[in-house]
Amino acid sequence: MDKPPLMKVAVVGATGMVGGVMLKVLEERNFPVGELLPVASERSAGRTVRFKGEDVPVMDMETAISKRPDIALFSAGGGTSFEWAPRFAEVGCTVIDNSSAWRMYPDKKLVVPEINGHLLTAEDRIIANPNCSTIQMVLALAPLHKAYGVERVIVSTYQSVTGTGMKAVKQMENEREGVEGEMAYPFRIDRNVIPRCDVFTENGYTKEEMKLVHETKKILDPNVRVTATAVRVPVTGGHSEAVNVEFAKEFELEVVRELLRKAPGIKLLDEPTKDEYPMPLVANGRDEVFVGRLRRDETQPRTLNLWIVADNLRKGAATNAVQIAELLVAKEMIARPRVAVR
């Protein structure tokens, strides 16, 4: 088998928490990076990032665009993506964006490779990476939806402070050490639980909760009904979700377990009597989505309870983005940039 061509890869937001993990995942998975273009804001001028044993200078957006990258992995916020992703796409670059900017546009693919990667084409210039909490949930639900038909989902999340970023991790560390510092949240997070992820919308739900609703419908099935409560908890290592799923068809627990065992990207941990179940301690640094605590909802028919955990910085963000890039390379969907920079 021929080796894939070496790619010129831009990582936009390279000095951020997710950007740093993107660099790590690219290296770990031996993605064919011929030239790395780490991109960050002007505040990061003069900084370097470490990649494959070398210090690579960080550059600004215009410089990166002038170098005509083949692929750009974006993790720099929605506003930045709105402004700059089209500029990268104009020069023939394929953008994989981790923000919420493009997810719900009808003409943009929202991709979890194991579920709907087959929908990608060479014409897709801006591809959306789903929200972290959505990725892990739909990956677990996809094989069950195919077998039984998911009708309704009730999900409560227990989300790591790493989902907010470095500032939130530092806040929690400061609180544990008794140090006053900058606050990422309106309340202390250590020894606390905050029933708010992102900002509140007019219907009383947060944006994070509505992402779970809308993104699940787009990826899995527009007819699936979803209601969510998203909660920030004082942990690192990954997001956890308690999910209650009502199916159209009856199921057998052992068959459900077997479907999950065989599903790509899933690791079944479901031996509660042996204290084997998913936790952020288990998921931290791993790319699998861990599923366990499978049991029937005894209050109504055709309904299952399950517990889902994944490292939100990896499969919930960086790894999923790199997997999309890997799929594009494998299917020879990356057109080398030829368009002149304006």
Q: List residues with catalytic annotation.
A: 132, 239
What is the largest distance, in Å, between two alpha-carbon atoms of the chain?
63
157 within 8 A of 277, measured Cβ to Cβ: no
Cα–Cα–Cα angle for 61, 64, 70, rounded to 5 degrees: 125
Sign of the Cα torsion 82, 322, 319, 266 reads positive
Q: How far apart are CA 277 and CA 239, in angstroms?
A: 14
Interhelix angle 319-330/17-28, nearest 10 degrees: 40
- Take residue 183 and report the two structure tokens written for it: 């606050």
342 within 8 A of 65, measured Cβ to Cβ: no
Q: How far apart are CA 241 and CA 203, in angstroms?
A: 22
- What are φ and ψ of residue 308, in 5° steps? -125, 130
40 within 8 A of 15, measured Cβ to Cβ: yes
90 within 8 A of 339, measured Cβ to Cβ: yes
Interhelix angle 132-148/253-262, nearest 10 degrees: 120
